Amino acid sequence: MKSIAFLSQKGGSGKTTLAVHTAVAAQESGERVVLIDTDPQKSATVWGETRQSESPIVATAAASDLEKVLQAALQEGMSLAIVDTAPHTAPDAAKIAKAVDLVVIPCRPTAFDLAAVSNAVEIVRAAKKKAVLVLSACPFRSPEIAETRNVLSEYGLPVCPSEITDRRAFSRAVATGRAVTEFEEDGKAAIEIRALWAWLKEQMQ
């Protein structure tokens, strides 16, 4: 079983959005997915409760229990675990980073988000785990996207070649307990999420 954590030291970076939509895209590609919500706000858990589909499974867990939950998921025959995390919790973030195969650090193209990336990168490097960077919640055709991409490249980590645009389809899908690939399967948001999942899968090879 492979495992991915979406991790950021700043709220509003798009962790939960990416986690839930990627979980469904991965499931649609043939993975058996568990989405593990370690954020006390439990946004992913609430989304799971509003879903008509029973999959992907959404489990709520404290960061301190993550390794046990991952082991249980492995025994249940899951092929992929996706972990949503809380912002501003460095000790928990370190535990989560150590427990997973790949850490995804989302970053919006803003100065505040860029400033928070270095903390997340430090946590991952201390944990000696593989990490990648993803541009999320990007405004349409914004010059800040290229500028942010240039700054992120300085960390020496893989940066997803495509961006996740700030589209209404993401929030509309979540409000109905769905992901964008279910809400508008041929929509631009769905295309972006499928591209992200395909790239993340490559990074785990």
For the segment 164-192, the average pLDDT, to the nearest whole number, is: 96
Give the DSSP letter string of 185-204: TTSHHHHHHHHHHHHHHHHT
Instruction: Name which CATH class applies to 2-203.
Output: alpha beta
Region at 70 (left for phi over 0; alpha for psi -120 to 50; beta for the rest): alpha
Question: pLDDT tens for residues 2-34?
Answer: 999 999 987 777 899 999 999 999 999 999 999
pLDDT at 1 over 90: yes
Q: Are 86 and 92 in contact (CB under 8 A)?
A: yes
Residue 136 confidence (pLDDT) above 80:
yes
The torsion angles phi and psi of 37, rounded to 5 degrees, stand at -100, 110
Predicted confidence at residue 152, as pLDDT, reads: 97
Instruction: Say how far apart CA 77 and CA 85 lie, in whole Å.
Output: 23
| Helix 111-127 × helix 143-153 angle, to 10° | 30
Residue 55's pLDDT band (boundaries 50, 70, 90)?
A: very high
Q: How many CA atoms lie within 13 A of 172 on its CB side?
A: 12
What tokens were used for 121?
A: 């990168």
What b-and-e string marks burial along 58-73, b requiring 16 or more CB atoms within 10 Å of the CB?
Answer: bbbbebeebeebbeeb
Q: How does strand 57-60 pair with strand 33-37? A: parallel
Segment 78-116, tens digit of pLDDT: 999 999 999 876 789 999 999 999 999 999 999 999 999
| pLDDT for res 125 | 96
In percent, the amount of the chain with pLDDT more than 70 equals 100
